[in-house]
Amino acid sequence: MTFLTIEHLEKSFGPTRVVKDFSLSVEKGEFVSFLGPSGCGKTTVLRMVAGFETPTSGTIRIDGKDVTHLRPNQRSIGMVFQAYALFPNLTVAENVAFGLKVKGVGGEERARRVQEMLQMIGLPDLGARYPFQLSGGQQQRVALARALAPRPQVLLLDEPLSALDAKIRVSLRAQIREIQRDLGITTIFVTHDQEEALSISDRVAVMYGGIAEQIGRPFEIYNRPATRFVAEFVGQLNRIEAAVLDPNAGRVRIGHQEVALSRPLPAGERVTLACRPEAVSLGAAPGRDLILPAEITEVDFLGAVIRVKAKAGLSTLSLDTFNRPDQPPPQPGDRVQVSLAPADLLVLEG
């Protein structure tokens, strides 16, 4: 059974429709990310779930109960903000206790629970500090503890990591995911960082222009993007121009080779195909029987991985190979063959 249901959600600010027919079902305990460029409406959807914005139309249900028109303080949600938003006049412990106090949890039980929360976020000794005495990462962990202390039904996080520096961002996101798993709390996480979204989510909703372009597991989103936008927004993409020979049978010509894609193509003389860098191999590879002659134009030695750019016909392909200590890396100007599997080629429509 789905726990959080969003149905045909719409939101307009004046004449502009900011969210368009957004539907999503989240299972209990699931971790869903909203991923998309700035201004695509991620925050607006999240704020409607929290109750800070009223939808123009559509419904939001939590655990079967229609909460669309409930005020924020009547919904059982925990929210973490990009700007931490700790109460500056309260200590860390008082911040965490705030929601419990409002709920009427008694003094002893409250103190126990605050300590438990501080333990959980790994800051058991900082209860007496004021927010201004904490680092950004510590503040955000306190904000998480504060949101979780009253045991909300749904946890909402709006770009909680984007004000932090890269190292802390990675470690804190792992910690958030671990805590989320332990508590089994249904979570929506907003981000515009695709690596973040792919690495910690059960499912990702890729948004663009107020529409959920695709909702799926990270593996699907990355490997089977449903729309051109998703394909281009998530991950790196090589483009290959091809001439269409038979649109119904999916036969195209790439360079001088005929390739059967075994799926129908849009009508037209030319089509843009795409593939991920890791779908392309340098030299022959088992299962990758489309082989193209190419010339290496650029080599980036990154350590474990070597990123190579190779020009095959009109298109430049990016591909990654692993470093091998016993072999010198390829050099620009080398004439090589690159291979890929026709099944890995995506058709970019529109």
Ligand X SMILES: Nc1ncnc2c1ncn2[C@@H]1O[C@H](COP(=O)(O)OP(=O)(O)OP(=O)(O)O)[C@@H](O)[C@H]1O
CA distances from 298 to 255, 295, 311 (A): 21, 9, 9
Q: Is residue 43 near Mg ion by the rule CB under 5 A? A: yes
- Kindly state the tokens that stand for 183: 């508590």
By beta-carbon proximity to another protein, the closer residue of 128 and 174 is 128
Stretch that binds another protein, among 28-36, 146-154, 233-241, 296-304 (CB under 8 A): 146-154
Single out the residue of 4, 40, 310, 348 in contact with ligand X (rule: CB under 6 A): 40
Single out the residue of 99, 127, 225, 342 in contact with another protein (rule: CB under 8 A): 99
- Kindly state the tokens that stand for 148: 């979780």
By beta-carbon proximity to ligand X, the closer residue of 2 and 68 is 68
Angle ∠(235,204,61) on CA atoms, nearest 5: 160
Of 324, 274, 318, residue with least CA distance to 299: 318
Within 13 Å, how many C-alpha atoms sit on residue 78's CB side? 25
Tell me which of ligand X, another protein, Mg ion, none is bound by residue 137, counting a contact when its beta carbon lies within the kind-specific cut-off of 5 to 8 angstroms.
Answer: none
Stretch that binds Mg ion, among 37-45, 91-99, 253-261, 322-330 (CB under 5 A): 37-45
- Kindly state the tokens that stand for 66: 């229609």
Q: E strands, 162-304, where? A: 186-191, 203-208, 211-216, 238-246, 251-254, 257-260, 270-275, 280-282, 290-301
Q: Is residue 318 near Mg ion by the rule CB under 5 A? A: no
Residues that bind Mg ion (CB under 5 A): 43
Residues that bind another protein (CB under 8 A): 50-52, 71-73, 77-79, 81, 83, 85-90, 98-99, 102-103, 130-133, 143, 146-147, 150, 156
Residues that bind ligand X (CB under 6 A): 13, 18, 36, 38-44, 192
